[in-house]
Amino acid sequence: MSDHTVKSYDEELAHLTSILARMGGMAEAQFAAGIQALSKRDDDLAQRVIDGDSRIDELDQEIQTFAVRLLALRQPMASDLRQIVSALNISGEIERIGDYAANLGKRCLILNHLPVTAPVAGVVRLAELVRSLVKDILDAYLEQDVEKAIRVWSRDEEVDEMYNGVFRELIDQMTEDSGTITASTHLLFIAKNVERIGDHATNIAETLHFQILGTQPKGARPKGNTVGAPE
């Protein structure tokens, strides 16, 4: 699409997108670092993840303020309106992702100091899958690629299935060895949070679909069987 007649409007929209991209990249890195801290039992890394969350919150605030300013001063219409409203929305989603990553870091610190440990491989696999979703959806946002967004959106089912697997695995672990209950429960919460991050990625996909096409994606949201996972 061609540029706005008012050049500074284009610059402001680009600025909004760039903050959002920075924020997304930061959240993705936080999440990746959290996963690494979990698998490597790295206290320092976990602590850095916890500390890094405030930066994401700041960016979220910046986006909120900037978007409200654009709404008030530019009175955007149509695609511009959708872009700004979507930015507000996606910023909120990314902020949540950042929160979950920080939570992952906190639980890592606790897990690292527990005397007894439980196997983390399943949770890490789940986390890696979700991380790829987050990466894809952020790429889709930067490229404004609806197809990619829809692919992310439909892969949420995959996440749910894997989550159910991890869930059962951890329950079995606790039943077999009551000494690992504390560690397993923490892992269970981590798995739940990671699954939530996947949900947020799906939300971003939906928002992106609306931003680009002006409609919500068609059909029911792909939702795997999460019987074992109490909400």
Between 81 and 109, whose beta carbon lies closer to other proteins? 81
What span, in angstroms and rounded, lies between the C-alpha atoms of 105 and 45?
8
Positions in the binding site for other proteins (CB under 8 A): 1-6, 9, 75-82, 213-215
Distances (CA, A) of 71 to 17, 58, 88, 189: 15, 20, 11, 38
**Distance of closest approach, residue 148 Cβ to other proteins, in angstroms:** 21
Residues in the chain: 231
**Distance of closest approach, residue 84 Cβ to other proteins, in angstroms:** 11
Tokens of 1: 């699409």
**Distance of closest approach, residue 112 Cβ to other proteins, in angstroms:** 50
Between 82 and 135, whose beta carbon lies closer to other proteins? 82
Between 6 and 110, whose beta carbon lies closer to other proteins? 6
**Distance of closest approach, residue 82 Cβ to other proteins, in angstroms:** 7
What span, in angstroms and rounded, lies between the C-alpha atoms of 45 and 38?
9
**142, 58, 136: which is closest to 98 by C-alpha?**
58
What span, in angstroms and rounded, lies between the C-alpha atoms of 191 and 228?
12
Between 178 and 215, whose beta carbon lies closer to other proteins? 215
- At 150, which helix (H) or strand (E)? helix 146-154
Residue 226 sits at φ, ψ, to 5 deg, of -115, 40
What span, in angstroms and rounded, lies between the C-alpha atoms of 50 and 56?
11
Between 5 and 178, whose beta carbon lies closer to other proteins? 5
**Distance of closest approach, residue 1 Cβ to other proteins, in angstroms:** 6
